Structure 1
Amino acid sequence: MGGVSLMSVLMLPELLDTKYALPFSELLKKEEREFVLDGSQVGRVGGLCFQMLVSAYRTAQMQGAGFEIRNISDAMRENLQLMGGDFLLEAKGDA
């Protein structure tokens, strides 16, 4: 089968806010190697969850792991751009 790695896709909720930050951090810790997030349902990204996304992205880069946000909603795209997270929009597969 070659170098196929199993990745689970984490569906992000409509509100990535402070209430979601703790469960989100726990989910990110479980995904040791590969991060695939689905942003199709996201209506708003709060500052704390934005910082967690950036941290997960940087951790994946340091570990040579994959990080990708798929199906980014228009609202999520706009929120990330406003917070300077354009690089998160571009992240695909292997860091």
Structure 2
Amino acid sequence: MMAAIALPENLDLKAAAPLKAALLERRGAPIEIEADKVRRFGGLCLQVLLAARKAWDQDGQSFSINGPSEVFVETTRLFGAEKALLSAEFQGAES
């Protein structure tokens, strides 16, 4: 069964621990991350998502980010993590 997490608008320092816990609860199953509402996206939450991406890849499970907001895409690019985190359709795309 596909698990899903809808990211909050504010992915700041305080959001990192709950995000990590939510991801750990869903490990072992394919997951979809809904990123359309993100308005602030901090480095720690990006690290949590990158670590989750790696864990899902190691488990051979699907990990997808759906409808990332402009802020999500731009922040991911600024950190140089777009190839690791975003699907090809959002890499280098101008919105």
Fold match (TM-score > 0.5): yes
RMSD over equivalenced CA pairs, Å: 1.5
Task: Give aligned-pair identity as a percent.
Answer: 34
Deviations 1:23-48 (A, max 9, x none): 11110101112221000000121111
Q: How far apart, CA to CA, are the structure 2 residues paired with 1:84 and 1:54?
A: 12
Which consecutive aligned stretches of 4+ in structure 1 deviate over 6 angstroms post-superposition? none
Equivalent residues, number: 87
TM-score in terms of structure 1 length: 0.85
Counterpart amino acid of residue 76 in structure 1:
F
Q: How far apart, CA to CA, are the structure 2 residues paired with 1:44 and 1:79?
A: 9
| Alignment correspondent of 1:17 | 12
Q: Runs of 5+ in structure 1 lacking a partner?
A: 1-5
TM-score in terms of structure 2 length: 0.85
